[in-house]
Amino acid sequence: MSLFSRLSQGLRKSRESLTSLFPGQAKEKLSDTEWQDIEDALVMADCGAQVAMDLVTQAKKSKQPIQTLKANMQAILTNNTPIREAKPFVLLIAGVNGTGKTTTIGKLAHMYAKQNKKVLIGAADTFRAAAVEQLSVWVERAGADMVKQAEGADPASVAFDTISRGISKNYDVIIIDTAGRVQTDTGLMNELAKVYRVMGKALDGCPHEVWHVVDGGTGQNAIAQVEKFREVIHTTGLIVTKLDGTGKGGILLQLCDRFKLPVRYVGVGEALEDLMPFNPSAYVDSLLPQTSHPEG
Ligand SMILES: Nc1nc2c(ncn2[C@@H]2O[C@H](COP(=O)(O)OP(=O)(O)O)[C@@H](O)[C@H]2O)c(=O)[nH]1
Ligand SMILES: [Mg+2]
């Protein structure tokens, strides 16, 4: 199955709840009730009440309502900020527990390794020995290298060591894995702030990118997560995982609308290859029923 069909499959639930509402191209005008149903379905897919309302209001005014709806969704999701370039390129990955940080790091390491880049991963999730074990399996699969310390070590110190080693051994990409933490835990958020700060001491101007990993099925709480993490580690982009299994893919619209952050990649499965660069147009096509057939 191609990555796109996986995404499309994952968003099937969202799309199916919308499909029955779309009359197709033949019908030009939708009734107010039909528009209300579309708005409700968008809200249920986690697009957010305000975003759903604005989208529907704009679409209703248009002569080509469905196309307008799609175009406006795409516009919300599009952010052309380029990924910063540097050598070594240093990336910090953070997010709450279980969102898919470690898995995503494995996928990213694999992607960079395929581009013939030398990749070094820092195991700064030092809470559990099992976390380092899990990461080392991914690192091996991806053909990357890893820096670790003893269980319970200071995560900032692991990050510092990793960057120092990455510089001295001429790595192209350095990725720091961190322990999951709830955004309301001040102690743990301070610890993450320290990791961020110390990274800047290891190498001026880094981390170059800070990607917050969000589980696509989380719902509304994702907003609070992104908001708080951004204050602490100056998030530069989002990665949204598990879009192969959620009927709530609309959360991306809300996140993009609110935070104006680029979505860098989306996770569509548990394997090494299951990471896609985010493509707003493909995403809108998987979320909404096909009303036109551009590819026949
Ligand atoms: N279906 C699916 N599962 C994922 C995806 N990304 C991660 N997972 C699963 O989510 C669980 C938690 O992942 P992990 O990387 O350990 O999360 P972490 O706590 O943020 O490091 C694991 O069972 C992963 O296999 C994805 O894109 N799709
Ligand atoms: Mg992890």
Token pair 């952050």: residue: 261
For the chain, give every domain's residue range.
Answer: 89-235
Q: Each residue of 32-77: pLDDT tens digit?
A: 888 898 898 888 888 999 999 999 999 999 988 888 999 999 999 9
Q: What's the per-residue H, E or C state across 152-221?
A: CCCHHHHHHHHHHHHHHCCCCEEEEEECCCCCCCHHHHHHHHHHHHHHHHHCCCCCCEEEEEEECCCCCH
CB-based contact 255:230 (threshold 8 Å): no
The closest residue, in CA terms, to atom 19 on ligand 1 is 98
The CB of 289 under 6 Å from ligand 1? The reply is no
For the chain, which ranges sit under pLDDT 70? 1-4, 13-14, 17-28, 246-247, 289-296
CB-based contact 158:147 (threshold 8 Å): yes
| pLDDT given for residue 267 in this prediction | 94
Its pTM surpasses 0.85: yes
Kindly give the distance from the C-alpha atom of residue 139 to the centroid of ligand 2, in angstroms, as a whole number.
13
| pLDDT given for residue 288 in this prediction | 77
| pLDDT given for residue 286 in this prediction | 81
| pLDDT given for residue 1 in this prediction | 64
Look up the CATH superfamily of 89-235. Answer: P-loop containing nucleotide triphosphate hydrolases (3.40.50.300)
| pLDDT given for residue 44 in this prediction | 85
The CB of 99 under 6 Å from ligand 1? The reply is yes
In the chain, % of residues over pLDDT 90: 73
Kindly give the distance from the C-alpha atom of residue 125 to the centroid of ligand 2, in angstroms, as a whole number.
7
CA 7 from chain center: how many Å? Answer: 13
Edge-first strand order for the sheet with 275-277 is 145-147, 119-124, 173-178, 89-94, 209-215, 237-241, 263-267, 275-277
